Amino acid sequence: MKHNYKIKLKEPDLTDEQVYAHKDFDKVFKRYKSVVDPLHRKPLYKNPKTFLGVVLFTVIGILVYYAMMEEETVQKQEEVHLAKAHKMKEAREMTPLPGTAPEPWITYNLPEGQEKKFDLPGGLSLSIPKDALVDAKGNPVSEVSTIDVRFFSDPQTMAIQGLNLETQPGSDKVLNSLNAFEIRILQGDEELQIREGSSLKLDLAGENSNQSLQECNLYGLNRVTTTWEPIKGKIQVLAPGSTEDIKKPEGDGFGMIEEGKARSKKKPKTQIKEKDSQSFLRSFSVEKLGVFNLGKEIDRGSWDEVALRFEDAEGNEVHFFGMYLMNREMNTVQYLWPKDDNFTFNVKLNPDQDQLLAGITPDGRLAVMRAESFKKIDAGSKEVQTVRLEIIEAEISSIEDLKRVLSFQSVS
Protein backbone atom coordinates (compact mmCIF):
# COMPACT_ATOMS: atom_id res chain seq x y z
CA MET A 1 0.00 0.00 0.00
CA LYS A 2 1.34 3.41 -0.89
CA HIS A 3 1.64 5.73 2.07
CA ASN A 4 3.72 8.65 3.21
CA TYR A 5 5.53 7.24 6.19
CA LYS A 6 8.16 4.69 7.06
CA ILE A 7 8.24 2.57 10.17
CA LYS A 8 11.49 2.57 12.02
CA LEU A 9 11.95 -0.15 14.58
CA LYS A 10 14.07 1.80 16.94
CA GLU A 11 13.44 4.32 19.74
CA PRO A 12 15.32 7.58 19.50
CA ASP A 13 18.53 7.38 21.36
CA LEU A 14 19.40 11.04 21.75
CA THR A 15 21.43 12.22 24.69
CA ASP A 16 20.35 15.27 26.71
CA GLU A 17 23.30 17.12 25.23
CA GLN A 18 21.97 16.51 21.73
CA VAL A 19 18.47 17.52 22.73
CA TYR A 20 19.47 20.75 24.48
CA ALA A 21 21.94 21.72 21.78
CA HIS A 22 18.99 23.23 19.91
CA LYS A 23 17.40 24.88 22.90
CA ASP A 24 17.49 28.67 22.57
CA PHE A 25 14.62 30.66 23.97
CA ASP A 26 16.29 33.98 23.10
CA LYS A 27 16.22 33.05 19.43
CA VAL A 28 12.54 32.10 19.64
CA PHE A 29 11.77 35.30 21.54
CA LYS A 30 13.59 37.46 18.93
CA ARG A 31 11.58 35.82 16.17
CA TYR A 32 8.44 36.43 18.16
CA LYS A 33 9.33 40.12 18.62
CA SER A 34 10.18 40.49 14.95
CA VAL A 35 6.70 39.23 14.07
CA VAL A 36 4.72 41.27 16.56
CA ASP A 37 6.93 44.37 16.61
CA PRO A 38 8.33 45.59 13.27
CA LEU A 39 11.02 47.58 15.09
CA HIS A 40 12.60 44.32 16.16
CA ARG A 41 12.67 42.95 12.66
CA LYS A 42 15.92 42.21 10.98
CA PRO A 43 17.76 45.36 9.91
CA LEU A 44 17.12 46.28 6.30
CA TYR A 45 20.70 45.77 5.21
CA LYS A 46 20.54 42.17 6.49
CA ASN A 47 17.50 41.43 4.36
CA PRO A 48 18.71 41.63 0.75
CA LYS A 49 15.29 41.39 -0.89
CA THR A 50 13.72 44.05 1.27
CA PHE A 51 16.83 46.18 1.03
CA LEU A 52 16.88 45.93 -2.77
CA GLY A 53 13.16 46.63 -2.84
CA VAL A 54 13.57 49.75 -0.74
CA VAL A 55 16.54 50.92 -2.83
CA LEU A 56 14.62 50.29 -6.04
CA PHE A 57 11.56 52.07 -4.71
CA THR A 58 13.68 55.01 -3.58
CA VAL A 59 15.46 55.25 -6.92
CA ILE A 60 12.16 55.13 -8.80
CA GLY A 61 10.77 57.73 -6.44
CA ILE A 62 13.73 60.02 -7.00
CA LEU A 63 13.53 59.55 -10.77
CA VAL A 64 9.82 60.29 -10.77
CA TYR A 65 10.41 63.33 -8.58
CA TYR A 66 13.10 64.68 -10.89
CA ALA A 67 11.02 63.92 -13.95
CA MET A 68 8.15 65.86 -12.43
CA MET A 69 10.44 68.69 -11.40
CA GLU A 70 11.93 68.81 -14.87
CA GLU A 71 8.48 68.81 -16.42
CA GLU A 72 7.45 71.58 -14.07
CA THR A 73 10.59 73.54 -14.90
CA VAL A 74 10.03 73.07 -18.62
CA GLN A 75 6.42 74.11 -18.15
CA LYS A 76 7.49 77.23 -16.24
CA GLN A 77 10.09 78.01 -18.88
CA GLU A 78 7.45 77.58 -21.55
CA GLU A 79 5.14 79.89 -19.64
CA VAL A 80 7.88 82.49 -19.31
CA HIS A 81 8.76 82.02 -22.94
CA LEU A 82 5.14 82.36 -23.97
CA ALA A 83 4.74 85.46 -21.84
CA LYS A 84 7.84 86.93 -23.42
CA ALA A 85 6.70 85.87 -26.85
CA HIS A 86 3.33 87.45 -26.17
CA LYS A 87 4.99 90.68 -25.11
CA MET A 88 7.27 90.49 -28.10
CA LYS A 89 4.26 89.97 -30.33
CA GLU A 90 2.66 92.99 -28.76
CA ALA A 91 5.88 94.87 -29.34
CA ARG A 92 5.68 93.91 -33.00
CA GLU A 93 2.63 96.11 -33.24
CA MET A 94 5.26 98.84 -33.62
CA THR A 95 4.03 101.31 -31.12
CA PRO A 96 5.28 104.84 -31.70
CA LEU A 97 7.62 106.52 -29.30
CA PRO A 98 5.48 107.59 -26.41
CA GLY A 99 4.04 110.46 -24.54
CA THR A 100 3.65 112.91 -27.38
CA ALA A 101 0.96 114.24 -29.63
CA PRO A 102 1.06 112.99 -33.22
CA GLU A 103 2.62 115.11 -35.88
CA PRO A 104 0.06 117.85 -36.59
CA TRP A 105 -2.02 117.88 -39.74
CA ILE A 106 -2.29 120.67 -42.26
CA THR A 107 -5.95 120.92 -43.16
CA TYR A 108 -7.71 122.27 -46.28
CA ASN A 109 -11.36 122.48 -47.21
CA LEU A 110 -12.36 120.41 -50.18
CA PRO A 111 -15.23 121.81 -52.29
CA GLU A 112 -17.89 119.29 -53.17
CA GLY A 113 -18.70 117.61 -56.40
CA GLN A 114 -16.09 119.09 -58.75
CA GLU A 115 -12.70 118.11 -59.95
CA LYS A 116 -10.01 119.88 -57.98
CA LYS A 117 -6.29 120.21 -58.01
CA PHE A 118 -4.49 121.10 -54.79
CA ASP A 119 -0.97 122.36 -54.47
CA LEU A 120 0.28 121.17 -51.14
CA PRO A 121 3.46 121.98 -49.26
CA GLY A 122 6.60 120.12 -50.15
CA GLY A 123 6.12 120.37 -53.89
CA LEU A 124 3.12 118.08 -53.80
CA SER A 125 0.14 118.48 -56.01
CA LEU A 126 -2.97 116.35 -55.56
CA SER A 127 -5.67 116.10 -58.23
CA ILE A 128 -9.00 114.67 -57.11
CA PRO A 129 -11.35 113.69 -59.96
CA LYS A 130 -15.08 114.31 -59.61
CA ASP A 131 -16.90 111.57 -57.67
CA ALA A 132 -13.60 109.81 -56.87
CA LEU A 133 -14.31 109.76 -53.16
CA VAL A 134 -16.79 107.56 -51.33
CA ASP A 135 -17.67 107.13 -47.68
CA ALA A 136 -17.15 103.95 -45.70
CA LYS A 137 -20.38 102.47 -47.12
CA GLY A 138 -19.32 103.21 -50.69
CA ASN A 139 -21.70 106.15 -51.19
CA PRO A 140 -20.47 109.09 -53.28
CA VAL A 141 -19.55 112.14 -51.25
CA SER A 142 -21.65 115.22 -51.84
CA GLU A 143 -20.87 117.35 -48.85
CA VAL A 144 -17.88 119.51 -48.12
CA SER A 145 -14.87 117.54 -47.04
CA THR A 146 -11.47 118.42 -45.65
CA ILE A 147 -8.11 117.20 -46.80
CA ASP A 148 -5.36 116.66 -44.20
CA VAL A 149 -1.68 116.41 -44.96
CA ARG A 150 1.31 115.98 -42.67
CA PHE A 151 4.98 115.45 -43.38
CA PHE A 152 7.58 113.23 -41.73
CA SER A 153 10.67 115.04 -42.74
CA ASP A 154 13.29 113.53 -40.46
CA PRO A 155 13.97 110.09 -38.90
CA GLN A 156 12.93 111.24 -35.46
CA THR A 157 9.52 112.34 -36.73
CA MET A 158 9.13 109.03 -38.56
CA ALA A 159 10.02 107.14 -35.40
CA ILE A 160 7.60 109.19 -33.33
CA GLN A 161 4.89 108.28 -35.84
CA GLY A 162 5.85 104.60 -35.64
CA LEU A 163 7.08 104.25 -39.21
CA ASN A 164 9.45 101.52 -40.29
CA LEU A 165 11.08 102.11 -43.64
CA GLU A 166 12.17 98.51 -44.16
CA THR A 167 10.54 97.40 -47.41
CA GLN A 168 9.45 94.31 -45.51
CA PRO A 169 9.94 93.67 -41.78
CA GLY A 170 13.29 91.99 -41.24
CA SER A 171 14.45 92.73 -44.78
CA ASP A 172 17.96 93.87 -45.62
CA LYS A 173 16.42 96.48 -47.83
CA VAL A 174 15.36 99.77 -46.35
CA LEU A 175 13.94 102.87 -47.98
CA ASN A 176 15.54 106.19 -47.58
CA SER A 177 13.20 109.14 -47.57
CA LEU A 178 13.22 112.16 -49.78
CA ASN A 179 9.74 113.03 -48.69
CA ALA A 180 7.43 111.08 -46.44
CA PHE A 181 3.91 112.23 -45.85
CA GLU A 182 0.41 111.15 -45.00
CA ILE A 183 -2.78 112.21 -46.67
CA ARG A 184 -6.33 111.66 -45.52
CA ILE A 185 -9.65 113.12 -46.62
CA LEU A 186 -12.47 113.48 -44.11
CA GLN A 187 -16.15 114.20 -44.15
CA GLY A 188 -16.86 115.31 -40.63
CA ASP A 189 -14.96 112.76 -38.59
CA GLU A 190 -15.37 109.97 -41.12
CA GLU A 191 -12.40 109.09 -43.24
CA LEU A 192 -13.21 108.83 -46.94
CA GLN A 193 -11.90 106.28 -49.41
CA ILE A 194 -11.02 106.42 -53.06
CA ARG A 195 -13.79 104.82 -55.08
CA GLU A 196 -12.88 101.48 -56.59
CA GLY A 197 -11.68 101.89 -60.15
CA SER A 198 -10.84 105.50 -59.53
CA SER A 199 -7.55 107.10 -58.50
CA LEU A 200 -6.08 110.38 -57.43
CA LYS A 201 -3.17 111.94 -59.25
CA LEU A 202 -0.23 112.84 -57.08
CA ASP A 203 2.47 115.01 -58.64
CA LEU A 204 5.87 115.73 -57.21
CA ALA A 205 7.98 118.40 -58.79
CA GLY A 206 11.78 118.46 -58.60
CA GLU A 207 14.74 120.49 -59.65
CA ASN A 208 16.84 119.51 -62.57
CA SER A 209 19.86 119.15 -60.31
CA ASN A 210 18.02 116.90 -57.88
CA GLN A 211 19.00 113.48 -59.16
CA SER A 212 17.41 111.85 -56.14
CA LEU A 213 13.90 112.71 -57.21
CA GLN A 214 14.49 111.09 -60.57
CA GLU A 215 15.87 107.96 -58.94
CA CYS A 216 13.17 107.73 -56.32
CA ASN A 217 9.89 105.91 -56.42
CA LEU A 218 6.76 106.50 -54.46
CA TYR A 219 5.78 103.79 -51.98
CA GLY A 220 2.52 103.47 -50.16
CA LEU A 221 2.42 101.90 -46.71
CA ASN A 222 0.14 98.89 -46.45
CA ARG A 223 -0.98 99.15 -42.84
CA VAL A 224 -2.15 95.55 -42.79
CA THR A 225 1.05 93.91 -44.00
CA THR A 226 3.29 96.79 -42.78
CA THR A 227 5.09 96.63 -46.11
CA TRP A 228 5.82 99.40 -48.54
CA GLU A 229 4.19 98.88 -51.91
CA PRO A 230 5.56 100.72 -54.94
CA ILE A 231 3.12 102.98 -56.77
CA LYS A 232 3.21 103.20 -60.54
CA GLY A 233 4.15 106.55 -61.90
CA LYS A 234 5.71 108.39 -64.79
CA ILE A 235 8.31 111.08 -65.10
CA GLN A 236 7.72 114.20 -67.14
CA VAL A 237 10.46 116.70 -67.98
CA LEU A 238 9.14 120.23 -67.85
CA ALA A 239 10.27 123.12 -69.93
CA PRO A 240 12.12 125.79 -67.93
CA GLY A 241 9.71 128.16 -66.22
CA SER A 242 6.64 126.01 -66.82
CA THR A 243 5.49 126.08 -63.24
CA GLU A 244 1.87 126.96 -63.74
CA ASP A 245 0.71 123.37 -63.26
CA ILE A 246 1.95 123.20 -59.69
CA LYS A 247 1.11 126.11 -57.50
CA LYS A 248 2.22 126.84 -54.02
CA PRO A 249 -0.66 126.75 -51.56
CA GLU A 250 -1.76 130.20 -50.66
CA GLY A 251 -3.78 130.91 -47.60
CA ASP A 252 -7.55 130.72 -47.94
CA GLY A 253 -7.36 130.18 -51.60
CA PHE A 254 -6.64 126.54 -50.78
CA GLY A 255 -9.29 126.30 -48.12
CA MET A 256 -7.01 126.34 -45.10
CA ILE A 257 -9.25 126.12 -42.05
CA GLU A 258 -9.15 128.62 -39.27
CA GLU A 259 -7.05 128.23 -36.19
CA GLY A 260 -8.76 126.91 -33.10
CA LYS A 261 -10.21 123.84 -34.80
CA ALA A 262 -9.37 120.35 -33.67
CA ARG A 263 -6.59 119.83 -36.13
CA SER A 264 -3.45 121.92 -36.18
CA LYS A 265 -2.64 124.16 -39.07
CA LYS A 266 1.04 124.20 -38.33
CA LYS A 267 3.20 123.72 -41.36
CA PRO A 268 6.03 121.20 -41.38
CA LYS A 269 9.41 122.67 -40.83
CA THR A 270 11.07 121.02 -43.79
CA GLN A 271 9.81 121.69 -47.28
CA ILE A 272 11.25 121.31 -50.72
CA LYS A 273 12.54 124.43 -52.41
CA GLU A 274 10.43 126.79 -54.40
CA LYS A 275 8.97 125.31 -57.58
CA ASP A 276 10.30 128.04 -59.80
CA SER A 277 13.45 126.05 -60.33
CA GLN A 278 11.68 122.72 -60.98
CA SER A 279 12.36 121.15 -64.30
CA PHE A 280 10.62 117.78 -64.17
CA LEU A 281 7.58 116.20 -62.66
CA ARG A 282 6.87 112.77 -61.20
CA SER A 283 3.23 111.76 -61.50
CA PHE A 284 1.64 108.86 -59.63
CA SER A 285 -1.82 107.32 -59.64
CA VAL A 286 -2.88 106.75 -56.04
CA GLU A 287 -5.66 104.26 -55.39
CA LYS A 288 -5.49 104.39 -51.61
CA LEU A 289 -4.88 107.20 -49.19
CA GLY A 290 -2.51 106.90 -46.28
CA VAL A 291 1.22 107.15 -45.69
CA PHE A 292 3.57 107.59 -48.65
CA ASN A 293 7.29 107.74 -48.94
CA LEU A 294 9.24 109.03 -51.84
CA GLY A 295 12.55 107.25 -51.67
CA LYS A 296 14.72 104.50 -53.02
CA GLU A 297 15.73 101.10 -51.75
CA ILE A 298 19.07 100.74 -50.05
CA ASP A 299 20.51 97.27 -49.69
CA ARG A 300 22.19 96.84 -46.32
CA GLY A 301 23.27 93.28 -47.07
CA SER A 302 26.94 94.20 -46.94
CA TRP A 303 26.63 96.09 -43.68
CA ASP A 304 27.95 94.71 -40.41
CA GLU A 305 25.45 93.01 -38.19
CA VAL A 306 26.07 93.14 -34.47
CA ALA A 307 24.17 91.54 -31.59
CA LEU A 308 23.45 94.02 -28.85
CA ARG A 309 22.08 93.97 -25.36
CA PHE A 310 21.66 97.03 -23.26
CA GLU A 311 22.39 98.32 -19.81
CA ASP A 312 21.84 101.55 -17.95
CA ALA A 313 24.44 103.78 -16.32
CA GLU A 314 24.47 101.54 -13.22
CA GLY A 315 25.14 98.47 -15.32
CA ASN A 316 21.62 97.05 -14.90
CA GLU A 317 20.33 95.13 -17.87
CA VAL A 318 17.58 96.99 -19.73
CA HIS A 319 15.03 95.16 -21.84
CA PHE A 320 13.19 96.47 -24.86
CA PHE A 321 10.38 94.93 -26.83
CA GLY A 322 11.18 97.12 -29.79
CA MET A 323 13.61 99.87 -30.76
CA TYR A 324 13.93 102.48 -33.48
CA LEU A 325 17.19 102.80 -35.36
CA MET A 326 17.36 106.22 -36.99
CA ASN A 327 19.88 107.18 -39.64
CA ARG A 328 20.24 110.85 -40.34
CA GLU A 329 22.42 110.55 -43.43
CA MET A 330 20.05 108.20 -45.15
CA ASN A 331 17.03 109.88 -43.64
CA THR A 332 15.48 106.58 -42.69
CA VAL A 333 14.23 104.69 -39.69
CA GLN A 334 14.07 101.02 -38.98
CA TYR A 335 12.07 99.26 -36.28
CA LEU A 336 13.97 96.47 -34.51
CA TRP A 337 12.56 93.46 -32.68
CA PRO A 338 14.47 91.38 -30.15
CA LYS A 339 15.72 88.21 -31.80
CA ASP A 340 15.34 86.07 -28.67
CA ASP A 341 13.85 86.08 -25.21
CA ASN A 342 17.13 87.41 -23.81
CA PHE A 343 16.23 90.67 -25.51
CA THR A 344 19.18 90.60 -27.84
CA PHE A 345 18.87 92.81 -30.89
CA ASN A 346 20.55 92.18 -34.21
CA VAL A 347 21.45 95.55 -35.63
CA LYS A 348 22.68 96.20 -39.15
CA LEU A 349 24.71 99.32 -39.00
CA ASN A 350 27.27 101.42 -40.66
CA PRO A 351 29.32 102.84 -37.79
CA ASP A 352 30.52 105.74 -39.91
CA GLN A 353 27.01 107.06 -40.36
CA ASP A 354 25.13 109.27 -37.98
CA GLN A 355 22.71 107.01 -36.17
CA LEU A 356 20.45 107.07 -33.18
CA LEU A 357 18.87 104.16 -31.38
CA ALA A 358 15.88 104.72 -29.15
CA GLY A 359 13.46 102.59 -27.20
CA ILE A 360 11.10 102.61 -24.29
CA THR A 361 12.03 100.75 -21.13
CA PRO A 362 9.43 98.47 -19.51
CA ASP A 363 8.83 101.19 -16.91
CA GLY A 364 8.06 103.72 -19.64
CA ARG A 365 11.24 105.78 -19.80
CA LEU A 366 12.90 106.79 -23.02
CA ALA A 367 16.38 105.38 -23.62
CA VAL A 368 18.70 106.49 -26.41
CA MET A 369 22.05 105.56 -27.84
CA ARG A 370 23.70 108.29 -29.85
CA ALA A 371 26.24 108.38 -32.66
CA GLU A 372 29.31 108.55 -30.41
CA SER A 373 28.23 105.35 -28.64
CA PHE A 374 27.85 103.56 -31.98
CA LYS A 375 31.53 104.17 -32.61
CA LYS A 376 32.39 102.09 -29.53
CA ILE A 377 30.68 99.00 -30.95
CA ASP A 378 32.98 96.36 -32.37
CA ALA A 379 31.36 96.04 -35.79
CA GLY A 380 33.29 92.88 -36.65
CA SER A 381 32.40 90.95 -33.51
CA LYS A 382 30.05 88.01 -33.67
CA GLU A 383 29.65 88.00 -29.89
CA VAL A 384 26.75 89.65 -28.12
CA GLN A 385 27.87 93.08 -26.97
CA THR A 386 26.35 94.93 -24.09
CA VAL A 387 26.17 98.64 -24.67
CA ARG A 388 25.22 101.44 -22.33
CA LEU A 389 22.18 103.53 -23.04
CA GLU A 390 21.27 106.96 -21.84
CA ILE A 391 18.06 106.76 -19.86
CA ILE A 392 16.19 110.05 -20.17
CA GLU A 393 15.00 111.11 -16.75
CA ALA A 394 13.78 114.56 -17.81
CA GLU A 395 10.05 115.02 -18.22
CA ILE A 396 8.88 114.96 -21.83
CA SER A 397 5.68 116.88 -22.20
CA SER A 398 5.63 117.89 -25.87
CA ILE A 399 6.73 116.70 -29.25
CA GLU A 400 9.34 119.43 -29.22
CA ASP A 401 10.73 118.01 -25.98
CA LEU A 402 10.88 114.60 -27.54
CA LYS A 403 12.57 115.77 -30.71
CA ARG A 404 15.10 117.67 -28.63
CA VAL A 405 15.94 114.53 -26.69
CA LEU A 406 16.14 112.52 -29.90
CA SER A 407 19.02 114.54 -31.24
CA PHE A 408 21.83 112.63 -32.80
CA GLN A 409 24.46 114.32 -30.70
CA SER A 410 24.49 114.60 -26.92
CA VAL A 411 22.66 117.59 -25.61
CA SER A 412 24.22 119.15 -22.55
Partner 1 sequence: MATIKLTEKELLQELKQIEAAKKNPERFGYLYNRYYKQIFLFIYKRTDDENVCGDITSQVFLKAMLNLKKYTYRGVPFSAWLYRIASNEVNQHFRNKKNERVVSMDKSDIERVFGMIDEMPESDNKDLFRQVMLDSLDEMKEEEVQIIELRFFEKRPFSEVGYIMGITENNAKVRVYRILERLKKRMKKKLEGVI
Of 16 and 314, CB closest to partner 1: 16
Smallest gap from Cβ 56 to partner 1, in A, equals: 29
Rounded Cα distance, 204 and 124, in Å? 5
Q: Does 400 bind partner 1 (CB under 8 A)?
A: no
Of 1 and 262, CB closest to partner 1: 1
Smallest gap from Cβ 38 to partner 1, in A, equals: 15
Smallest gap from Cβ 39 to partner 1, in A, equals: 15
Q: Does 209 bind partner 1 (CB under 8 A)?
A: no
Cβ atoms 152, 295 nearer than 8 A:
no
Q: Does 252 bind partner 1 (CB under 8 A)?
A: no
Rounded Cα distance, 266 and 259, in Å? 9
Q: Does 1 bind partner 1 (CB under 8 A)?
A: yes
Q: Does 376 bind partner 1 (CB under 8 A)?
A: no
Rounded Cα distance, 221 and 229, in Å? 6
Stretch that binds partner 1, among 9-17, 107-115, 375-383, 388-396 (CB under 8 A): 9-17
Q: Does 45 bind partner 1 (CB under 8 A)?
A: no
The neighbouring-strand residues paired with 282 are: 204, 235
Cβ atoms 349, 325 nearer than 8 A:
yes
Of 20 and 51, CB closest to partner 1: 20
Q: Does 3 bind partner 1 (CB under 8 A)?
A: yes
Cβ atoms 326, 409 nearer than 8 A:
no
Q: Give residue 332's identity as a one-letter amino acid code.
A: T
Out of 21, 54, 85, 144, the residue judged to bind partner 1 by CB under 8 A: 21
Rounded Cα distance, 97 and 158, in Å? 10
Out of 4, 139, 316, 412, the residue judged to bind partner 1 by CB under 8 A: 4
End-to-end CA distance of the chain: 124
Out of 23, 46, 49, 234, the residue judged to bind partner 1 by CB under 8 A: 23
Give the side-chain half-sphere CA count within 13 A for 156: 17
Does the CA dihedral 37-39-43-48 come out positive or negative?
Answer: positive
Task: Give me the 128-167 binding string for partner 1, x by CB under 8 A, dash otherwise.
Answer: ----------------------------------------
Of 32 and 57, CB closest to partner 1: 32
Q: Does 12 bind partner 1 (CB under 8 A)?
A: yes
If you count them, how many residues does the chain have? 412
Of 32 and 65, CB closest to partner 1: 32
Q: Is 69 helix (H, G, I), strand (E, B) or coil?
A: helix
Q: Does 38 bind partner 1 (CB under 8 A)?
A: no
- Cα-based distances in Å from 263 to 53, 105, 149: 83, 6, 11
Cβ atoms 219, 175 nearer than 8 A:
yes
Q: Does 39 bind partner 1 (CB under 8 A)?
A: no
Q: Interface with partner 1 by CB under 8 A: which residues?
A: 1, 3-12, 14, 16, 18-25, 27-29, 31-33, 35-36
